[in-house]
Every structure is written in structure tokens, then in C-alpha cells.
Structure 1
């Protein structure tokens, strides 16, 4: 009986890690679509978001079933509660990747971004993929130090986000208001994606230590 219960808890963690991997692929594809005006890739991200939603629904359903049928306590209860919250964060990461892909589709066949800011978004896309990958590792192999590293890792994303405002507010910006608005919104999507990845990691710290995760502005 206990082995079956433990197997269900492990399965819940595996479902969340699978979601991390899925949203990591989504932001990588969305970034490629954005930088290369690739309509087919943008459509792929948009259609695959339904799969991410299904993964979240399945994980949440399994978590509620464990609450209702097994009445977990202590660490097990923290696992289940954290899984419910983390599923929401991961679904939102998928939605943010969808927003990036939608911007690429909306402007197609034109490029959304001027050439001078593309390297910043390429770097934000790379950072986002790494955050999703690391969050998956933390879920599969919970470790406090590794989970807390995501906070520091996200600093690079925050720095890129702040730097975009410097670029957009510069007198040298010659690409008009529409391009500035697009770049501002897109940079915010990546910054929020990173925040949600950090939120997932903080929930893993809670699972391990029982320390309540501090709130994030996401």
C-alpha cells in the first residue's frame, strides 16, 4: 500500500518535470520563431500549448486525488500542495511562450524586432531554456542549494530586462513607437517566465525544508 502511494507521489513529480521540459521547448521554439519570422514554428508553439494545459490538468487532478484519498501529512502533504501551485506556474510559463509565438505570427511576414535588439532576445531565450531545464532537475532531484541557485540564475534575465529599457529610452532609438511597444512587452514576457521558474524552485525548497516560499511579483 505504501509503495503504491510512494509511486503516485513520484509520478506527480515526474509529471511536473515533464511540464518543465515542455515549456522549455516551447520558449526555445517561440524565440526561434520570433528571431527568424518563422510562421510555421510560431503555429507549432501555439498548437502545442494545449498539450501543456492537458499536462497541468492531469497533474492537478492527480494531486487532488492524493489529497482526497490518501490524506497525506508532513512532507507528503507539502509535495502535493506544492505540485498544485507549481503546475499553475508551469502552465503560465507555457502561456508566456505562446504570447511570444503569437507576436511572431501577428507581425509575419515582417520581423517583430529590429536587428539591434535581437541579440538581447536571443540571450533571454537561452536563459529561459536553462531556467526551465534546471527547474526540471530540481523537481526530479530535490536539493535545497540547487533550487536556490535559480534565484541567482534569474538575475541574468532581470539584468537583460532592465537593459532593454535603457536601449528603448535611448535617443539613438530610431525604430518608432510600435517597435518599442513590441520589444517592451516581449521583454516582460521573458522576465515573467523567469520569475515563474524561480517560483517553482522556491516551492521545492518548501517541500524539502518546510519554509514557506517568499512571494514573487508574477
Structure 2
């Protein structure tokens, strides 16, 4: 009985890992839509978000079944409850990618981001996409420094977010109000995606080790923010 339970618990972790991969792919598609005016990629991101929503519901049903049928205690209970929390946060990562895709679709065929700010947004897309992969590895229990990489990437995302906000609020900004709002929204969506990833990583690392991982000042703030939509 216990072997079966732990097999189902492992399958639950695998579900979360697949959700991370889905969120990362959705983000990459949304980024292509946003920065390359690729409407087809934006539409694929929107379709992928619906799939991620279904994956979250399946994950929650699996967790509820474990709670109802196995009555886990101690670390096992902590793992199941953490899985429910993480599924919600990963689904939220998908929602944030969806917002990027919606922004791209709304402005198509016009560019969302002025040319001089595209490099910063490209870096945001690369960083947050890599965070989804690091999170997948952390959920899979892959040895290494996945959480440290998540935290370092989150710090860089925060700095890029601030840089972009500084650019659109600078008195020398010449692109008008609508592009400024669009850039600020896009930067915020990337920043929140990163916050959610750190929040999931922190919760799962605690489940695995029983020790809260150290985070930088900005990372800790991001994790606190990530508990709220």
C-alpha cells in the first residue's frame, strides 16, 4: 500500500514538472508573438494556456484523491499540499504568458515594444523561459543548483523590469502613452512570471529538504508578492 502511495506521489511530482514545461513553452510562444509580431505564435500560446488550465485541474484531482484515500501525514502530507499550491502557481505562470500573447494579438500587426527596448525584452523572455526549465528540474529532484539559478535569474528580471519602467517614464520618452503602457505591462508580466517560479521553487525545495532556501532581499520580496495574484 505504501509503495503504491509513493508511486502516486511521484506521479504527482511528474505532473507538476510537465506543467512547468508547458508554461515555459507557452511563454516562449507568447514572446515570439510579442517581439516578432508573430500572430500564429501568440495564438498557439493562447491555446496552450487552456491546456495548462486542464493540467492544473487534473493535478488537483490527483492530490485530492491522495488526501481522501491515503490520509497522509508528516512529510507526505506536506508534499501533497505543496503540490496543490504549486499547481496553482504554475497555472498562474501560464496566465501571465497568456497576457503577453493577448497584448501581442491586440496590437498586431504593430510592434508592441519600440526597437530600442527589444533587447531588454528578449533577455526577459530568455531568462523567464530558462526559469521554467530550472523549476522543472527542481520538481524532478534533479541534483544541482536549480534554486540558486532561479533566485539569480529573478534578481536580473527585477532589474530589467525597473530599467524598462524607467525608460517609459523618462521625460525623453517619445513614443506616446499607448506604447509606454504596453511596455510597462509586458515588463510586469515577465516579472510576475519570475516571481511565481521562485515561489514554487521555494515551496518545493522546502518539501524536499525541510529547510527554507536562502534568497536575496529582492528574491524574498518576490516570493512574498508571488503569493498574491
> TM-score normalized by structure 1?
0.95
* Partner residue, 2:216: none
* Partner residue, 2:110: 110
Within-5 A mapping of 1:51-130: 51-130=51-130
* Partner residue, 1:38: 38
**Partners in 1 of 2:18 and 2:61 — Cα distance?**
16
2:146 is aligned with 1:169 = no
* Partner residue, 2:27: 27
2:158 is aligned with 1:150 = no
Query: Does the aligned pair in 2 maintain the 1:143–1:205 contact within 8 Å?
Result: no
* Partner residue, 1:17: 17
State the Cα distance separating 1:41 from its structure 2 match: 1.0
Q: 1:81 to 1:148 in 2, by over 3 A?
A: farther
State the Cα distance separating 1:211 from its structure 2 match: 4.6
Q: 1:207 to 1:142 in 2, by over 3 A?
A: farther
* Partner residue, 1:216: 224
> How many aligned positions are there?
218
* Partner residue, 2:185: 185
* Partner residue, 1:197: 197
Superposition misfits of 4+ residues, deviation over 3 angstroms: 142-146, 209-215
**Partners in 2 of 1:110 and 1:43 — Cα distance?**
16
Query: Does the aligned pair in 1 maintain the 2:22–2:48 contact within 8 Å?
Result: no
Query: Does the aligned pair in 2 maintain the 1:49–1:98 contact within 8 Å?
Result: yes
Query: Does the aligned pair in 1 maintain the 2:134–2:149 contact within 8 Å?
Result: no
> TM-score normalized by structure 2?
0.90
Secondary structure of 2:224's aligned partner: coil
State the Cα distance separating 1:38 from its structure 2 match: 1.0
Unaligned runs of 5+ in 2: 214-219
Unaligned runs of 5+ in 1: none
**1:149-181 Cα distance to aligned partner (Å, 9 max, x none):** 422221011110011122112233110011000
State the Cα distance separating 1:108 from its structure 2 match: 0.8
Structure number with the bigger relative contact order (C-alpha 8 A, sep ≥ 6) is 1
**1:75-127 Cα distance to aligned partner (Å, 9 max, x none):** 11111011000001000000000000000100111111111111111100000
